[in-house]
Structure 1
Amino acid sequence: MAASFNVVRYNSSPCAACKFLKRKCLPDCIFAPHFPPEELQNFISVHKIFGASNVSKLLNEVLPHQREDAASTLAYEANARLKDPVYGCVRAISILQLQVEGLQKELDEANAELVNYARGYNHCYHPDISGTTAAQPAPSAVPVNPMCCYAQIPPQTRPVDLINTGEAGVCNYYRIPSSVTFPRNDTNQGGAAGQGL
């Protein structure tokens, strides 16, 4: 890409740095690949903040594959410093760090909520190993968990026993007695699980 840029550069105009500094753009110009003629304002900002000789030294010190990143970083920092002479790009960095911290906090809260839902789901749908049951509480005392929509059905219409774990903050769950039968779903056509029983 740099070779094709050099061919175009010599046929048209010098790079932004040489144009601004009013000098001839040589074939080995360190600025040419990073400050094309149409990016004159970027070079003016970089020159005003860092100085052309300092930028030239820096670009010569970094590895060739890192020069493009170095030049774009210098241009960004110079433009930020011109817009905000006191903080420069530090203000943008601080704002982004605060956003990352806020998003991390939201992610942690969402993960904690997900864990609570998973615990509620496990307590609502896995049978009690001990086999103990408690009397069914009044409908207002039944915990409402989004993962346990069964808890919203009035107790007198439920053919199940309420299992009360007795733990604070843990969802109660229900055990379906073996006498309750479920209708068989015969609407599946071939290949359905349980077919041919």
Structure 2
Amino acid sequence: MISTRCAACKYLRKRCDTDCIFSPYFPSNDPLKFACVHKIFGASNVGKMLKQLPVHHRAEAANSLCFEAQSRIQDPVYGCTGIISLLQQQIYNAQKQLAIARAEIALNAHQAHLQGGSQFQQIEASSSFNNVAAEPLHVDQSFFDPPWLF
């Protein structure tokens, strides 16, 4: 006998009606998806949330609830906000590295311009003058630190 019950109805041990709100989003071949969502949000709450949404948004909402539930199970304190914080920190670090790289590129371009210009002037004027070496760029790292670290 082929079972036509969705994962939610199997988990809740009830008959799966043809108009079951869970059936399209919690297929019988993925029982853990509903188990996670049920553990965190409860079947009744999930059903109410899905019914309030337009049909074309329900699949995305079910997937989002599943992701949030799995995140909360893995990290009971922070849940998916822990992942968001980690990603924000990675973005911040990448922006910091990019700013430092841009500053170094600007310094190198400025130094090359000064060296190239002074050599050109020496050749053109056939005169000597004191060439002041540019000091290396020292970037104040605290400028890039996020304000919440203080």
Q: Flag structure 1 segments of 5+ consecutive residues without an equivalent.
A: 1-10, 136-162, 171-197
Give the distance between the partners of 2:61 and 2:128, measured in 1 at CA. 70
Higher relative contact order (CA 8 A, sep 6+): 2
- Alignment match, 2:6: 15
Shift in Å, 1:132:
7.8
Q: Quote the Cα distance in structure 2 between the aligned partners of 1:64 and 1:132.
A: 81
The corresponding residue for 1:169 is 135
Q: Which amino acid aligns with 1:33?
A: P
2:100 aligns with one of 89, 104, 109: 109
Percent sequence identity over aligned pairs: 42
Match of 2:113 in 1: 122
Q: Aligned AA for 1:57?
A: K
Distance in 1 of aligned mates of 2:16 and 2:127: 89
* Deviation of the 1:123 alpha carbon: 2.7
Could you tell me the TM-score, scaled by structure 2's length? 0.72
One-letter amino acid matched to 1:71? A
Aligned-partner Cα distance in 2 for 1:25–1:33: 11
Structure having the higher Rg? 1
What is the match of residue 134 of structure 1? 128
What is the number of residues matched between the two proteins?
132
Richer in helix (by share): 2
Is 1:69 the equivalent of 2:60?
Answer: yes
Q: Residues 30 and 125 from structure 1, CA distance in 2 versus in 1: closer, same or farther, beyond 3 angstroms?
A: farther
Match of 1:47 among 38, 52, 60: 38
For structure 2, list consecutive stretches of 5 or more residues without a partner in the other structure.
137-150
- 1:79 aligned partner, one-letter code: Q
Deviations 1:48-93 (A, max 9, x none): 1101111111112223332222111211111222222222222222
Q: CA RMSD in A?
A: 2.7
Indicate how the Cα distance of structure 1 residues 34 and 168 shifts in structure 2: closer, same or farther if over 3 A, else same. same
CA 1:47–1:119: 2 relative to 1, 3 Å: same
TM-score (norm 1): 0.57
1:101-149 CA-partner distances (Å, limit 9, x unpaired) = 11111111111112222223333334449958435xxxxxxxxxxxxxx
**Alignment partner, residue 83 of structure 1:** 74
